[in-house]
Amino acid sequence: MSIVAAFAVPHPPLIIPAVGHGREEGIRATVEAYQEVAQRIERLAPQTIVLSSPHATCYRDYVHVSPGTGARGDFLQFGAPDAAYEADYDSAFVSALDAAAQADALSAGSQGERSPELDHGTLIPLHFVREAYTRAGHAVDFKLVRMGISGLSPADHYRMGMLVQRCADVLGRRVVYVASGDLSHKLLEEGPYGFAPEAPRFDDHVCQAFRSGSFLDLLTTDHSLAKRAAECGLRSFQIMAGALDQTEVKAELLSYEGPFGVGYGVAAFTPCGEERASFSRAFLPQYEEARDRKMRELRSHEDSLVRLARRAVETFVREGVRPDAEGLLDNPLAPEVEELSSPSGCFVSLTLNGELRGCIGTILPVRRNLAEEIVANALSAACHDPRFSPVRKDELSQLVYDVDVMGKPESISDASQLDPRRYGVIVSTSDGRHGLLLPDLDGVDGTQSQISIAARKGGISLTDDDWRLERFEVVRHR
């Protein structure tokens, strides 16, 4: 058995006494569960701890693994510069992961680290583990492999975990996997991030997966639910799940708390059968089947506007031909056809694995009718959004399309007239700069956040520039 145990742990800085100054007593159950995890790790005596943290170096399209022989970090940003730790890296394991990722065509490896310093999502588990070793009178003799998360799919994060499992086996390492990550950040109105009704639902969902060991539920978690809950640990947990691929486990939820508005879950997963011997726990093909079934269901219910956007993108990406709007419409009697024949501004948004993949639109119509507007904006979103590379053929089957038909913008005097769930916002200046944000976006709950994001998109300073507000409604087709 190469992966001898796996643990999911949170990373609230105040749990460190030098930072919390007594506030850690407010999450006493979390502290005690963390200590239990650390004691188990010490007794297991791993040669290597593989740890994933959402606060390590992260990229949208690449799972980063820290290179080099080791790193150091401290809690200076949290007011405790003397609470510092060092870790020696298992460089041979990192090299093996690099080679395995390349062989499996997985976008992952040890290139492009922005900062070598250990992040708090890594430091907090290290604090507890080192404390357990000290109490047991043992020298810290394990090495660390540290990785971030990414904007890649749940399948790719699971595959990363499978590579950890494979490399541990090939190298003959005795490995413990630690998935660092908090749950939702919006459990309480008085908390630092406010309240979202999706937050307790998300935490209940993940805690149930922790209790049952149903890793498929971690992979199929609704993207919108996770974003609106403002979680940070889900993709870390998905990598952990892959490290236990096809392995029976004893699953334990050791604690769950959220008194400060952030959900803290501690869970343990102990292999109780031969590694990779349980086909029922091969969750990657189960996830892919569920994902494909969901996409088929989505396609079967799309209306003419969404179908028009999708066909325009697919035709151009596959054939290199800019399609004609009329040739893409296959139902002249559809109720949306009359709407498509009238001029209107619209935005077309593309998402992939729950992450934005492109969004371009027009506030007011610039083409003869809405059909032409949709085609033009869909192609621009797919191929000319400066934030992203052009959509590839292999991404087409998993793209999700939204078409927002614009209502007429109206001037408003202040933010009290906004509602992020109902209205989009335009922030503009007299010199022509403007930034727009659509309504009802995952993770955008407050009006100030909505205004700030729109202003940033337009290169507008809310403190230095003279700016004005407009609001608008949309009819969203998805």
Edge-to-edge strand ranges of the sheet holding 264-271: 143-147, 48-52, 175-180, 3-9, 264-271, 249-257
- Distance (Å, whole) CA 477 – CA 378: 13
pLDDT of residue 443: 86
The pLDDT value given to residue 330: 65
Percentage of the chain exceeding pLDDT 70? 98
- How do 249-257 and 264-271 pair as beta strands? antiparallel
CA distances from 348 to 240, 324, 325, 409, 464 (A): 35, 17, 15, 18, 32
pLDDT of residue 329: 74
Over range 312-341, report the average pLDDT: 81
pLDDT in tens, 102-143: 999 999 999 988 889 999 999 999 999 999 999 999 999 999
CA proximity to 224, closest of 211, 238, 237, 234:
234
Q: Which pLDDT value is given to residue 196?
A: 94
Q: For residues 465 and 314, what is the distance between their CA atoms, to the nearest angstrom? A: 41
Indicate if the pLDDT at residue 178 is higher than 90.
yes
**pLDDT over threshold 80, residue 336:** no
Rounded CA-CA distance 89/49 in Å is 9
Rg of the chain on CA atoms, in Å: 24
What's the sign of the alpha-carbon dihedral 28, 34, 38, 41? positive
Which pTM does this prediction carry? 0.93
Calculate mean pLDDT across residues 32-40. 98
Please tell me which residue, 446 or 56, carries the higher pLDDT value. Answer: 56
Could you tell me the pLDDT band of residue 445, with boundaries at 50, 70 and 90?
Answer: confident
Residue 335 pLDDT level (bands cut at 50, 70, 90): low
Q: For residues 242 and 147, what is the distance between their CA atoms, to the nearest angstrom?
A: 14
Q: Taken in order 153, 265, 66, 148, is the CA torsion positive or negative?
A: positive
Looking at the chain, the whole-number percentage of residues with pLDDT higher than 90 is 93
Report whether pLDDT(326) > 90.
no
pLDDT in tens, 354-393: 999 999 999 999 999 999 999 999 999 999 999 999 999 9
Q: What is the pLDDT of residue 327?
A: 77
3-class SS letters over the chain: CCEEEEEEECCCHHHCHHHHCCHHHHHHHHHHHHHHHHHHHHHHCCCEEEEECCCCCCECCEEEECCCCEEEEEEHHHCEEEEEEEEEECHHHHHHHHHHHHHCCCCEECCCCCCCCCCHHHHHHHHHHHHHHHHHCCCCCCEEEEECCECCCHHHHHHHHHHHHHHHHHHCCCEEEEEECCCCCCECCCCCCCECCHHHHHHHHHHHHHHHCCHHHHHCCCHHHHHHHCCCCHHHHHHHHHHCCCCCEEEEEEEEECCCCCCEEEEEEEECCCCCCCHHHCHHHHHHHHHHHHHHHHHHCCCHHHHHHHHHHHHHHHHCCCCCHHHHCCCCCCCCHHHHCCCCCEEEEEEECCEEEEEEECCCCCCCCHHHHHHHHHHHHHHCCCCCCCCCHHHHHHCEEEEEEECCCEEECCHHHCCCCCCEEEEEECCCCEEEECCCCCCCCCHHHHHHHHHHHCCCCCCCCCEEEEEECEEEEC
How many whole angstroms separate alpha carbon 353 and alpha carbon 398?
Answer: 8
Q: What pLDDT does residue 338 have? A: 72
Residue 478 CA to residue 476 CA, distance in Å, equals 6
Residue located via tokens 């998109």: 457
pLDDT surpassing 60 at residue 333: no
Domains defined along the chain, listed by start? 3-290 (3.40.830.10), 302-405 (3.30.700.20), 410-477 (3.30.1490)
pLDDT digits (tens, 9 = 90+) for 257-291: 999 999 999 999 999 989 999 999 999 999 999 99
Residues 187-242 have pLDDT tens digits of 999 998 999 999 999 999 999 999 999 999 999 999 999 999 999 999 999 999 99
Q: Are 78 and 19 contacting, i.e. CB atoms less than 8 angstroms apart?
A: yes
Token digits of residue 239:
């990598």
Using alpha carbons, select from 363, 357, 396 the residue that is nearest to residue 380: 357
CB 406 within 8 A of CB 476: no
Distances (CA, A) of 269 to 31, 140, 201, 237, 285: 18, 23, 23, 11, 21
Is 332 a residue whose pLDDT tops 60? no
Sign of the C-alpha dihedral, residues 365, 368, 369, 370? Answer: negative
Instruction: Express each pLDDT in 2-28 by its tens digit.
Output: 999 999 999 999 999 999 999 999 999
* 170 backbone φψ class: left, alpha, beta (φ>0; ψ -120 to 50): alpha
29 exposure class (CB count in 10 Å sphere: 0-12, 13-18, 19+): middle
Q: Supply the pLDDT for residue 286.
A: 98
Overall average pLDDT of the 281-303 stretch? 97
